[in-house]
Amino acid sequence: MEILEGAELCFPHLLNASCRKKVRPHSEATTIYILLSFISLLTVALNLLVIISISHYRQLHTPTNLLLLSLATSDLLVGLLLMPTEIPRTGACWFLGDFMCAACNCLAFTITSTSVGNMVLISVDRYVAICDPLCYPTKVTQRRVQICVCLCWICSVFYNSLMLKDFLIKADRYNSCYGECVIVINYIAGSVDLVFTFMGPITVIIVLYMRVFVVAVSQARAMRSHIVSVTLQPSGTGTAKKSELKAARTLGVVVAVFLLCFCPYYYPALTGQDTENSSSSSAFLVWLLYCNSSLNPVIYAFFYPWFRKSIKLIVTLQILQPDSCGTNIL
């Protein structure tokens, strides 16, 4: 009987102090590990394609693409560092020790908030480009974008270090047994994090993208009226309507995916509860949050024709040819 119970413990030699494993059928556990590993590899591959494309081709060295590069870098780290360390938690056991528990949680909060910050910067960039196109080259310069990206990363590290200060000092303070990696964010810290990492960014993104959509629609209608008045033919109506619908669909996807991935995770803070990240209770919510990093390159990059063209060049190894960095990619 003791052997049977020992087989269900994370650390069988610590009978009275070890956490118990989550027992699953072998086929189910294998399927889960394969699926999560595939999501991790897909996240790395998609974001790596974005990074290679923007870094290699000179035509893509623009302020907007620099923001996409920063977003892809933070999302790459999610797939490369956070997802692999999260996979063992599906078995309800943490074998990497207290130091790695603190480091992984700190990295998770920092990288996730940096990714959100990059999304906000992209929305600001699109707002200026659409709503004030004449001043865009002077307002949004390469140097200013570089400074904003650096500040985004620095502020994220500083902010999350302050929020997790007590947890970093004693990482096992919330663990009830050996084999756990639990972090509890109290109501006050959770409320601050809710505002800075969720409510604030989503408000900025929605407001700016709604403004962008309104301006884009008005510009499309003005152009359509101009075409009709000049050619006396209403042939541009269908095209303009299609562009309006495409713009609405793109902006809707951006906001919907952000809400879908972040709302469940921040639900406890929204309802005034403490937020607990443990190996047993919130694995699904954490993975849903991380999946935003898998979807970001699809939303922000696959909508760009240059990305599809660069993928073909990378896959066919044309990127290895001499002077390929000067290829006309646009």
pLDDT in tens, the chain (330 residues): 344 444 577 777 766 777 777 667 777 778 888 899 999 999 999 999 989 989 888 888 888 889 989 999 999 999 999 888 888 776 667 777 778 888 888 888 899 889 889 989 988 888 888 888 888 889 889 999 999 999 999 999 998 888 887 777 776 776 777 777 777 777 777 778 888 888 888 888 888 888 887 877 776 677 666 665 555 554 444 554 555 555 556 666 777 788 888 888 777 666 655 555 544 447 778 888 888 888 888 887 667 788 888 888 888 888 888 888 878 787
Question: Under a CB-based contact definition with an 8 Å cutoff, are residues 90 and 181 in contact?
Answer: no
Instruction: Tell me the C-alpha distance between 292 and 277, whole Å.
Output: 18
Fold assignment, 2-326? Rhopdopsin 7-helix transmembrane proteins (1.20.1070)
- Going from N- to C-terminal start, the domains of the chain cover 2-326
The sign of the CA dihedral 130, 133, 135, 137 is: positive
Phi, psi (rounded to 5 degrees) for 184: -115, 120
Identity at 238, one-letter amino acid code: G
The sign of the CA dihedral 98, 103, 104, 109 is: positive
